[in-house]
Structure 1
């Protein structure tokens, strides 16, 4: 309801109720009227104050008066005049004095810390309270105000709901059913329906809008929208099921992709519609129960206007709903051509292209407008059809969108740097960094990339930001490893010592054998059963002992190699870089562990904003240490920043899938966690600490080699003093691995 409508509807009731209010209310109103804030502010409080008193209490109405005065002083009359109207609506939702007082306190805090954002916050109050509740609203305000320390304008945009991070938070915290609410059940549903186990992930928030609103699939699996705005929880769950059933039909029955070539967007849309109908028809032959699931979302009928998109939706409906009839000539023609072709060759998808081209031409001759930029496939459960076409403009749209965003951030950073008039040497260094980064981007475009989203911990709000970072998992590029192999031949002593120490490390797994006649300990379950048998006057089982037996060595280590820009710096007088020593250490450890029969995996990492956290696989578990591993180690190059938390979470995910008795994540890094899209110096550090706690709870040991003379003890704050090896002399890194395995022996 608008402010004007609120005032008009409640004027009579307000005046009657105003006469009954106590002296506290009268005093508050008199103070506002005499303060000189203007008639607009006074009238707003006179109108809405009684509404707050009725919904909550007279004391709440008096507190509102004090808030109105405070905002008028801090943020101006315009913002102050809006406070009573917003407060009246908040009171209807909050109802209790405690909750309403907290809402007022949040507004007062905003007026004190960021007065220019009060009006923006009032704009989002109604939606925020309705969708995320007071608790979520408290977090939302806290996150916004925290941004003021580094960027006041960004903080204002956040509280106005105009910042992408704010929209992401509000969407994720709302009561709408979300993908992550049902992720496991959706994967189970798809496996049960189609007998398929493809990766099913949430569409990244950075994808184009059409992709965010619809399901999709490709070589790397299935992606689903984060939610379906406008649908309640029950319908949203049905939509997810319908979407998975539809995508599964494509995977089962679309045998080859269509080639776009010179086709127009309208032709692509109509051909896709017919292929959707064809695969659904084939699926219905095997699972007729899917008809009720799909047809419930086909609601477009003959009463709709004759537009290109509505006619296409009506054709979709008539092809799946046998009880629906449509007298439109174009719809009738499409149905007739489809039925004839499907009856003759149901497994031949080429008829969709032939018929679709004809129908699209007919729509064009009817002069019906079709805007490909805003077109979204209907109904909502159907996929975006990108998976059934080859486009000339590949690579993938998600990666393109991320690249554009991060490039924009980098350009802004460069402009700020130029404004600061840095020294020529620093300018040259920045140019070298940009060149290395561009080279790495070009390599990524040629690599097969798997995108995985991870949450990130916000230490200000003390909450996780769901699906905040996107980890790009690729195989590391290959490069000639002559220099690395030469260095390995010079480190035979260290390799021999390391192999010996690993062999003696106490990493054996034990298993308990139970119900034995002799053993090392009493098996309590067997003892209880024996005692129960005795009381029942039965002969007890004499096998009441147990024994511990050793299964043999059982150790998995994942080594994460920092390849951020700073690792390209010289490590000492020998001319080798920090990354060179990291490569050498990784090669030594991998070779030694292979010799002793333990499992080891290697990966490099760096980041370029939260949307592009790079994870380069060098060696997977179970993969032999061969020439390919050395070449991928040599292919790691220094570029970008160090966003540690998402990388640790991904490493933990890989280790969690292992069955080893002991799992170790080893991080080798030379710098404090940082990234170009983060201004708060503690944000990434606290996230890494939180990620460490998550790994510890999962039974994964984490160690860190902190390289260089780092005066700020960031590594100790993250990993704890006992789990950090600090190396000011970087040349000692290969030998320092001996100390790590000393820990394993304890």
Structure 2
């Protein structure tokens, strides 16, 4: 996000530096620093560039920068020279001036100090200048956002470069153009969507696209589904076990996209091994941080060996990630990585005595009783003591487990069972508790806005969740972009209910059934057929006309049938019905006293019966949503099923939850787009605007549904809405268009609405 307009630097006559020096004479601390900076700059730039620099310094001073900001700029400049080019120096001062004018001198100084931490001595200065200019651009547009950003500056710049920062800031301004409170939450990374967008702008390798494959793989090998939560948190550098959850970082540094499938597979299956073979959590007691890290390393090796006994291919999967070469390095990161490789690969050779002793102790204990988990801390105490004798320091704060597929180990310990005097383990304990399971359940639904406390998704028991059908993107109208893999569709199999009441309603609607059947049968929905060699028609049959001309030239009587007619004589149509079963469909509709859902069910039954009689391919699904992670799809009828099977399922459908319409539309379009038919029709039966419990912005889901409709029509599908209820007509027209929305308040109105729908199909 570049500075929208550069503030003009006040004109000054030659000798600006001398004039500024005279003005600073009454402020000795500034005068001395300016004189030193002037000499330094003069050593590296020419006279003309030095004059431009002096003007930029004077301009910042005139903007009421104050001594703290001026001195911060001179300190930054001392780090830049001699690496920065001469024209670049005034650019730093101009960016600082923009920050000072819009956000104030104190914020500008904090920004300069933050950027200075990213400037190596003698560096070229391009990257720091881009960061400072990006923040100056933000100050010019939303000065209140700069201070929150600076509070999270290191985390943000760890994830993105300057261009990514500009894009991420533009996202925040688009999301919250007028809401200062939410804008502050975004730029301080307190907003979940801010963390998600930062991970995406930083090129995060997404776990979501691999989720269903790994769910099936884990279930096949170990008999259970992994529960994974993706967390956009810079403190989470490796996966973490948290009760029954596996916390997955949204961004792995140094993970190439082509390596992602194998990395996620190794990580999920490694976590599954802990769930199967780590039967109790380790007591911390008086363990030092280095012993805790060694216990985690040894337990990783133990569970992987046990799993590899059952499935030898896992050893090859994990072994490919152990790449630390043998060496003489006596540092903890190198020793730990080489020990991990030695325990995973019997053929690995390393001459270090500490590694050799650790491997020998582990191999002997594992051979004696591999299921005895207690031998792990016993060995850790011995080799941890040896490491201390070698005077090799262990940095608990910055320790990162290697290789990257392994969890950070903190979830393997019972932190409550800790000696109260063991202060060394306190920092690790705090880190282990920072991302508690209940916080993940409540806060990981990273929607477009922060829902109120009453609207948060309540935790669900694992057995209540349906199997994942698909992951779909969702359109964010403020960002003007799709959020990939944002919505999870889950399959909830249909139940069979008593269909007698529905059959009775069908029998009572005999007249309606007859009219619908007649309308459907009259509709011609196939590809137009050319009827050639006709006496009359709308087009000329070129082949017949050529033959007639040849006959005339030869003196023969020409055939007068030289016209052609285009007609639809058969049917080539597939229909997909999506039935809204959200809680609002329990409301009454029309004077007949039925609910929206019962009217919809009867409408589906009437139409389905007519289509079944013609043999047209026809499918129907019901849908509702409980947040973006649980969009519920209940199949009522597949394309190849007999219609009678759907009656009992329709009778059992009950209203519940919310309406995430865009996700349902993408699901229906995906099913219908694969059908090879001339006309493919998607019909949504709903009672109003889309809504969901994790969305507060009324326009968000409406705009997403519009985008989903446009995308479906771009696939060659006809998309219509049957709006059930008085209020649904206006909402449906805003999404599907007035011509493609058909209001129905009474069952008796359905035939004429269907007639209009089929008329549109036949005239195209």
- The alpha-carbon distance between structure 1 residues 691 and 268, as it changes in their structure 2 partners (threshold 3 A), is same
Partner of 2:736: 719
CA distance 1:62–1:508, change in 2 (3 Å): same
Query: 1:40: how far off?
Result: 1.0
Alignment coverage as a number of residue pairs? 632
1:359 matched to which residue of 2? 375
> Matches of residues 238-253 of structure 1 in structure 2 within 5 Å?
238=259, 240-241=261-262, 244=265
Measured against aligned partners, the alpha-carbon deviations of 1:285-315 in whole angstroms (never above 9, x if no partner) come to x899868735437999996769xxx989946
Distance 1:508 1:399 in 2: 55
**2:404 matched residue in structure 1:** 380
* Residue 453 of structure 1 pairs with residue 471 of structure 2: yes
Q: Deviations over 1:241-262 (max 9, x none)?
A: 36547989999xx9xx959887
Q: CA deviation at 1:571?
A: 0.5
SS in 2 for 1:167: helix
Report the counterpart of residue 252 of structure 2 in structure 1.
229
1:648 matches 2:665:
yes
Distance 1:263 1:65 in 2: 56
More displaced 10-residue stretch of structure 1: 119-128 or 35-44: 119-128
* Cα deviation digits, residues 551-594 of structure 1 (max 9, x gap): 97543322112223322221122221112211222222333323
Sort the Cα spacing of 1:258 and 1:508 in 2 relative to 1 into closer, same or farther, 3 A: same
Tell me the TM-score normalized by structure 1: 0.67
Matched, 1:293 2:331: no
Question: Which 5+ residue runs of structure 2 have no aligned equivalent?
Answer: 1-33, 285-294, 386-397, 410-434, 531-540, 544-565
| CA gap 1:224/1:317 in 2 versus in 1, 3 angstroms | farther
Measured at CA, do residues 555 and 80 of structure 1 come closer, stay the same or move farther in structure 2, by a change above 3 Å? same
Whole-Å Cα distance in 1 between the matches of residues 82 and 327 of structure 2? 47
The aligned counterpart of 1:467 is 485
1:40 equivalent among 68, 75, 82: 68
Cα distance, 1:215 vs structure 2? 11
How far residue 327 of structure 1 moved from its aligned partner, in angstroms, is: 5.7
Question: Equivalents in 2 of 1:102, 1:312: separation in Å?
Answer: 35
Q: What's the offset of the Cα at 1:631? A: 3.9
Q: Structure 1's 477 and 46: CA in aligned 2 closer, same or farther, altered over 3 A?
A: farther
Partner of 1:675: 692
Change beyond 3 A, Cα 1:41–1:262: closer
Q: Which residue of 1 aligns with 2:395?
A: none
Aligned to 1:320: 345
Structure 1 residues without counterparts, runs of 5 or longer: 1-6, 217-222, 342-350, 386-396, 418-433, 513-519, 523-547
Q: Where in structure 2 are the equivalents of 1:201-220 lying within 5 Å?
A: 205=230
Q: What is aligned with 1:695? A: 712
**Hey, what does 1:404 align to over in structure 2?**
442
Contact 1:150–1:680 (Cα < 8 Å) also in 2 = no
- Partner residue of 2:7? none
Find the aligned partners of 2:92 and 2:307 in 1 and give their Cα distance: 60
Counterpart in 2 of 1:171? 199
CA shift, 1:82, in A, is 3.1
CA distance in 1, matches of 2:503, 2:270: 50
**Residue number in structure 1 paired with 2:623:** 605
* Equivalent residue, structure 2, for 1:121: 149
| Corresponding residue to 1:498 among 486, 501, 516 | 516
Which structure carries more helix by proportion? 1
Q: What TM-score, normalized to structure 2?
A: 0.65
- C-alpha distance in structure 2 between counterparts of 1:589 and 1:729, whole Å: 15
Q: Is the 8 A contact 2:61 2:70 kept in 1?
A: yes
Which residue is 2:614 aligned to? Answer: 596
CA 1:265 to 1:66, structure 2 compared with 1: closer, same or farther past 3 Å? same
Distance 2:237 2:742 in 1: 44
1:450 and 1:473 in contact (8 A); partners too: yes
Decide which moves more: 269-278 or 30-39.
269-278
SS of the residue 1:576 aligns to = coil
**Which secondary structure does the structure 1 equivalent of 2:742 belong to?**
strand
Take 1:443 and 1:735, find their aligned partners in 2: how far apart are those partners?
45
Partner of 1:633: 650
Point out the structure with max Rg over C-alpha: 2
Q: Aligned equivalents of 1:127 and 1:11: distance in 2? A: 35
Deviation at 1:79, TM superposition (A): 0.8
Matches within 5 A, 1:296-315: 296=323, 314=339
- The equivalent of 2:636 in structure 1 is 618
SS at match of 1:653: helix
